[in-house]
Amino acid sequence: MSADAITRKQKKVSKTDPAKSNNMTVSEENKEIDLNHPDLFLNRELSLLAFHRRVSAQAQDTSMPLLERLRFLCIASTNLDEFFELRVAGLKQRVVVSAPQAGPDNMTPQEVLNRIRVAAVEFVEEQYRLLNESLFPALEQEGICFLKRDQWNEAQNQWVRTYFEEELQPILSPIGLDPAHPFPRILNKSLNFIVSLKGKDAFGRDSGMAIVQAPRSLPRFIQIPPELAQHPYDFIFLSSILHAHVGDLFPGMKVTGCYQFRVTRNSDLFVDEEEVDDLLRALEGELPARRYGDSVRLEVADNCPEKMINFLLKQFKLEQQDLYQVNGPVNLNRLLPLPDLLDRPDLKFPSFTPSVPTRLGRNLLNTIREGDLLLHHPFESFTPVVDFVRQAAVDPQVLAIKQTLYRSGPDSVLVDALVEAAKANKEVTVIVELRARFDEEANIRLANRLQQAGAHVVYGVVGYKTHAKMIMVVRREGKKLKRYVHLGTGNYHDRTARIYTDYGLLTCDEKLGEDVHNMFMQLTTLGRGTQLKKMLQAPFSLHTGLIERIEREAEFAQQGKPAHIIAKVNALNEPKIISTLYKASMAGVKIDLIVRGICCLKPGIPGISENIQVRSIVGRFLEHTRSFYFLNNGDPEVFCASADWMDRNLLKRVEECYPIEKPELKTRVIEQGLKLYLQDNTQAWVLDKEGNYTRLTPKEGEPAICAQQTLLQTLAEKA
């Protein structure tokens, strides 16, 4: 849409409507609204924290199977850990160096930290209240009990003593604090105990305090042998065993208190890629430091005396606002293994078998030659993607295989196939992203393994993470070479393919194959890339391509034509995209956004974003598909992508965005992947202009619609 058209539209907006209600400036000359005004943006970090609370809300949903509710609680706790390790840690660093505002919302880092503190305290209290008042009692009704010390009978007490003496005590190293025994280094997120003592030890020392670090090699809860159990499943926390016998660690002294604590540390890695010669070795050297980064949060038992809390805060150089006192295990996420340990299918989601496309023959390349294949995981199997590489690895006519690996898992069957292909003297090139956060160590091992097999391994582009999901197989067919490609929205990871929703396209389209070839050439050489024919690519054409398409819809709306945009992404925070969406809304474009996590756009502002709806779907599977629909004057364009609408994805990473062109596949994405999610009224949360999310429920007489459940019934096979 032209600037004049935008001005005309903006002049129609009352100066006292959106501008006054949002404290935005309005030019007296032309009454233009400043679409980059901070009041039009939600804060990134607070939006992310709100997503974690939506995940935690699943644990409160009594319609969910009980063990799945516990699983959601643990996942939310793990998410919160990572939030402190990365986001809070980054904000603290910005405060130290007196950095300016953290984003387009114009909030200072300290302001954001203050807001996080308020929300996080409430979040943590909700979690432990839910655990103690709802989940534990419900589990006990099902015969799954975590026994407290005062509930142990004589036989159980004896078993606990034996476990302590034989399994726990031999590997403990309690440290009494004195000048010769300073406060120990505490591992990130490890379980520890601070112990108060009376009396003198064998050497006449009287420090009054000691630290006991729980061994990481032992589970955080232990099942009591069935013959000693009072219920079908009885468990005891490792912390309870240590509490019961901590006095045995300090003979001749009296233990007057023992309290759990855990510290969370900055876990971001810093490697100046411009200054290192070998990125792999530099990361290998940096990884150990992650365990002992700067402290950002202290969790302690809520009955810990103030004197000991202050002592711990001083040791970790933290303030009161960094303290979280909890009524339960400080390492809440260590309950996550419980659902998988229990043979209680009645308390879990019903199992299902991902389907395999009916036209899939034994020879996958033959199937692809017959027509494009679109896979919607986890409802449809990830196996065809694995078979695509496996068959290429043993096909004598296949000359080369190229693949990007961002996250693939420690025992990847895809990597196995690439290794076999390299050993068979095929040209195997793998772009391994070493900086995939928290997967660096696993990716280093994979890179070394591939190199040992004879594959060409490169680490992408300096300064730009390679987040694109691509496989290319080059095969000799007659006198020509033919390219077969897989393009995905998610990682090449067997496990996440069963719990993340993602799209994958298998095709031998000549122009798409050429585009993928050119992208691989960009990644492996230092030459300039050529313009792609069908695909959009970050950091070059994707950002501008999206803006052009949003503006095109606005132009159609200005001409009185129907205009509609539907986008499904994991996150939206890129300011230019947001302001362009505002302009399109003001022009009359209907905009439906399905944003799982971070959303910095404010919908529903009169005169600005009243044509924009934002919803978040949180359910059994992690919504991970990125797909975009533009009505385009009745000739719809549909894309799938590896990229979210975030500044880091669009401007600082290598990403791929590919068109879905076959009519039947395009219809599938529109109907099953977008419009169905807009109909969801059971797992959808709707965002308002204040940044609050409200969960939808079916209205009276309205059928309940769950997008994920519908796709399970439609696409997956029943187990």
Residue ranges and CATH numbers for the domains of the chain are 3-34+538-718 (3.30.870.10), 46-347 (3.30.1840.10), 353-534 (3.30.870.10)
pLDDT at 693: 97
Q: Is 500 annotated as a binding residue?
A: yes
* Cβ contact 73:127 at 8 Å: yes
> Is the pLDDT assigned to residue 303 strictly greater than 80?
yes
The reported pLDDT for the residue numbered 74 is 96
What CA–CA distance (Å, rounded) separates 336 from 220? Answer: 10
The pLDDT > 70 percentage for the chain reads 89
Q: Per the structure block, which two tokens stand in for 667?
A: 């219809």
Tell me which residue of 424, 428, 432, 425 sits closest to 400, measured CA to CA.
428
Q: Which amino acid is at 666?
A: K
Q: What does the pLDDT read at residue 77?
A: 96
Give pLDDT, residue 205: 66
Q: Taking 60 as the threshold, does the pLDDT of residue 230 lie above it? A: yes
| Per-residue pLDDT at 270 exceeds 70 | no
pLDDT at 678 over 70: yes
Measured CA distances, 73 to 61, 134, 444, 582 (Å): 11, 12, 31, 36
Q: Can you give the pLDDT at residue 17?
A: 41
More confidently predicted of 170 and 103: 170
C-beta of residue 87 within 8 angstroms of C-beta of residue 48:
yes
Assess contact for 586 and 608: CB atoms under 8 A. Answer: yes
Residue 517, pLDDT score:
96
Least confident interval from 29-43, 486-500, 542-556, 582-596: 29-43
pLDDT confidence bin for 14, thresholds 50/70/90: very low
- Dihedral over alpha carbons 436, 441, 445, 450 (to 10 degrees): 10
437 or 140, higher pLDDT: 140
Least reliable range by pLDDT among 119-128, 271-280, 363-372, 453-462? 271-280
Q: What percent of the chain has pLDDT over 90?
A: 75
Confidence of residue 22 (pLDDT cuts 50, 70, 90): very low
Confidence of residue 588 (pLDDT cuts 50, 70, 90): very high
Does position 28 have pLDDT exceeding 60, yes or no? no
Report DSSP letters for 621-678, one per residue. Answer: SEE---EEEE-GGGS-EEEEES--BSHHHHHSEEEEEEE--SHHHHHHIIIIIIIHHH
Distance separating alpha carbons of residues 329 and 313, to the nearest angstrom? 19
End-to-end CA distance of the chain: 51
Is 624 annotated in a binding site? The answer is yes
Q: What does the pLDDT average to over 350-363?
A: 88
Per-residue pLDDT, averaged over 461-472, amounts to: 89
Q: How confident is the model at residue 202 (pLDDT cuts 50, 70, 90)?
A: low
Is pLDDT above 90 for 526? no
| pLDDT grade for 687, boundaries at 50, 70 and 90 | very high
pLDDT at residue number 102: 65
**DSSP-H helix ranges across 216-371:** 238-245, 279-286, 306-315, 338-341, 364-370
Which pLDDT tens digit goes with each residue over 50-109? 999 999 999 999 999 999 999 999 999 999 999 999 899 989 988 888 877 668 999 999
Q: How confident is the model at residue 25 (pLDDT cuts 50, 70, 90)?
A: very low
pLDDT at 541 over 90: yes
The chain-wide mean pLDDT, for the chain, equals 89
Distance of alpha carbon 405 from alpha carbon 6, whole angstroms: 43
| Pairwise CA distance, residues 428 & 426, whole Å | 6
Q: What is the CA radius of gyration of the chain?
A: 28
Residue 639 has pLDDT above 90, yes or no: yes
pLDDT of residue 320: 96
DSSP 530: P
The pTM (predicted TM-score) of the whole model is 0.90
If we measure between CA atoms, which residue out of 283, 314, 633 comes closest to residue 441? 283
454: closest CA among 533, 400, 522, 389? 400
Check the CA dihedral 48-574-617-641 and report its sign: negative
Burial per residue of 534-543, b for 16 or more beta-carbon CB atoms within 10 angstroms, e otherwise: bbbbbbbbbb
231 noted as active-site residue: no
Give the pLDDT score at 23.
45
Pairing of strands 622-623, 627-630: unpaired
pLDDT average, residue stretch 461-490? 93
Q: How high is the pLDDT of residue 445?
A: 79
Helices within 197-289 (DSSP H only):
238-245, 279-286
483 is in an annotated binding site: no
DSSP state of 321: G
pLDDT for 495: 85
Give 362's pLDDT tier (boundaries 50, 70, 90): confident
Listed in sequence order, the residues at least 6 apart from 268 whose beta carbon sits closer than 8 Å to its beta carbon are: 85, 86, 89, 90, 293, 437
Is 266 annotated as a binding-site member?
Answer: no
Chain length of the chain: 719
The predicted pLDDT at position 199 comes to: 83
Three-state SS at 577: helix
Please give the pLDDT value at position 449.
84
Indicate which residue of 52, 243, 467, 543 is catalytic: 467
Classify each residue of 121-157 as buried b or exposed e, where b means 16 or more C-beta atoms within 10 Å of its C-beta. eebbebbbebbeebbbebbeebebbbbeeeebeeebe
Mean pLDDT for 657-675 is 98
- Range with lowest mean pLDDT among 197-201, 415-419, 424-428, 478-482: 197-201
Residue 13 to residues 269, 483, 505, 587: CA-CA distances in angstroms? 47, 53, 44, 11
